[in-house]
């Protein structure tokens, strides 16, 4: 059995990738809609949400009641055949009155080197497939 690349193992096909468009954004990001389990530093129960996009430095998570900037967080997400557990901190909070999408931008602060490499490869492969031309992502991403 051959090992699948991060692109082939991803949760959902990418619709659009974007390069850094915010002055503080350091890494390109790709859309990635998958379930993420959140645990905050307080002793609250685990909360399930959905990711919107991911980069090698962080992730945006859609939430109805976003947490304030500076909040420590633990993330558990499953991308393809890989389970990732990542520590982070909320660096952006978009509240309902600020308009959609409501949620939090999380900066990765604790990530295993092999998981960081996996996320880097996932983003690079998705970006490469988009720049290869129209339909490239459809040719390399399995249908679900």
pLDDT tens string 47-78: 999 999 999 999 999 999 999 999 999 999 99
CATH of the domain at 69: 2.40.10.220
pLDDT of residue 80: 80
Residue 3: which pLDDT band, with cuts at 50, 70 and 90?
A: very low
pLDDT tens string 100-115: 889 999 999 999 999 9
> Would residue 5 count as lying in a domain?
no
> Would residue 11 count as lying in a domain?
no
CA distance 64 to 96: 7
Q: How many domains does the chain have?
A: 1
pLDDT tens string 17-51: 333 344 455 788 889 999 999 998 776 789 999 99
Q: Which domain holds residue 34?
A: 17-131
Burial 10-23 (b: 16+ CB within 10 A, else e): bbebbeebeeeeee
State the average pLDDT for the chain.
78
> Would residue 55 count as lying in a domain?
yes
């Amino acid at each position: 059995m051959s090992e699948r690349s991060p692109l082939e193992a991803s949760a959902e096909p990418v619709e659009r990738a974007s390069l850094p468009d915010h002055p503080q954004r350091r890494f390109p990001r790709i859309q990635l809609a998958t379930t993420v389990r959140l645990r905050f530093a307080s002793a609250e129960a685990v909360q399930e949400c959905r990711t919107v996009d991911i980069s090698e430095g962080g992730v945006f998570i859609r939430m109805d009641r976003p947490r304030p900037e500076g909040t420590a967080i633990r993330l558990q997400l499953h991308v393809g055949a890989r389970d990732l557990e990542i520590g982070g901190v909320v660096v952006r909070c978009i509240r309902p009155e600020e308009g959609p999408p409501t949620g939090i931008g999380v900066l990765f602060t604790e990530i295993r080197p092999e998981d960081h490499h996996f996320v880097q490869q996932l983003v690079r492969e998705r970006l490469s497939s988009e720049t290869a031309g129209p339909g490239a992502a459809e040719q390399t991403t399995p249908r679900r």
